[in-house]
Amino acid sequence: MKTCINSEIGKLEGVIIHTPGPEVENMTPENAERALYSDILNLSIASKEYAQMAGVLKTLTPVFEVKKLLTEIIGDKNTKLGLLKEICRVEGICGMENDLLRNSASDLANLLVEGVVLEKNNLTNYLANERFLLRPLHNLFFTRDSAMGMNNNMLIGKMANPVRERETLIMDSIFNKHPAFETTTINPSKPVSKIERTLQSTIEGGDFQVARNDVFVIGTGVRTSTQGIDFIIENLKQIKTGPHHIIVQELPSNPESFIHLDMVFTFLDTDSCMVYEPVIYKMNRFRTIHIHIENKKVKKIEEQPNIPTALRKLGIDLKPIFCGGENDPWIQEREQWHSGANFFAFEPGKVIGYQRNIYTVEELNKNGFEVLKATDVIERKVSPNDFKKCVVTIAGSELSRGGGGARCMTMPVRRAEVK
Cα-Cα end-to-end distance for the chain: 21
Query: What's the domain range around 144?
Result: 12-414
Please state, as a whole number, how many other Cβ atoms lie within 10 Å of the Cβ of residue 94: 10
CB atoms within 10 A of CB 199: 8
Q: β-strand 350-354 against 344-347: which pairing, if any?
A: antiparallel
Selected residue with higher pLDDT from 38 and 295? 295
Per residue in 370-399, pLDDT tens?
A: 999 999 999 999 999 999 999 999 999 898
The full length of the chain comes to 419
Rounded mean pLDDT, 224-244: 91
Classify residue 5: in a domain, yes or no. no
Distance CA 382, CA 280 (A): 34
Q: Is residue 7 in a domain? A: no
pLDDT tens digits, 42-92: 899 999 999 999 999 999 999 999 999 999 999 999 999 999 999 999 999
Cα→Cα distances 151→3, 182, 414, 417, Å: 8, 13, 9, 11
Q: Amino acid identity, residue 258?
A: F
The predicted model scores a pTM of: 0.95
Question: Is the pLDDT assigned to residue 126 strictly greater than 90?
Answer: no
Residue 325 lies in a domain: yes
Mean pLDDT of the residues in the chain: 93
Mean pLDDT (whole number) for 287-312: 96
262 within domain boundaries: yes
The verdict on residue 419 lying in a domain is: no
CATH code, domain with 332: 3.75.10.10
Lowest mean pLDDT among 92-96, 173-177, 367-371: 92-96
Is 6 inside any structural domain? no
- Residue 230 located in a structural domain: yes
In this prediction, what percent of the chain has a pLDDT beyond 70? 95
Question: How many domains does the chain divide into?
Answer: 1
In 3D space, the residue among 321, 320, 318, 324 whose CA is nearest the CA of residue 337 turns out to be: 324
Asked whether residue 189 is domain-assigned, the answer is yes
pLDDT band at 26 (very low <50, low <70, confident <90, very high): confident
Indicate the pLDDT class of residue 402, thresholds 50, 70 and 90.
Answer: confident
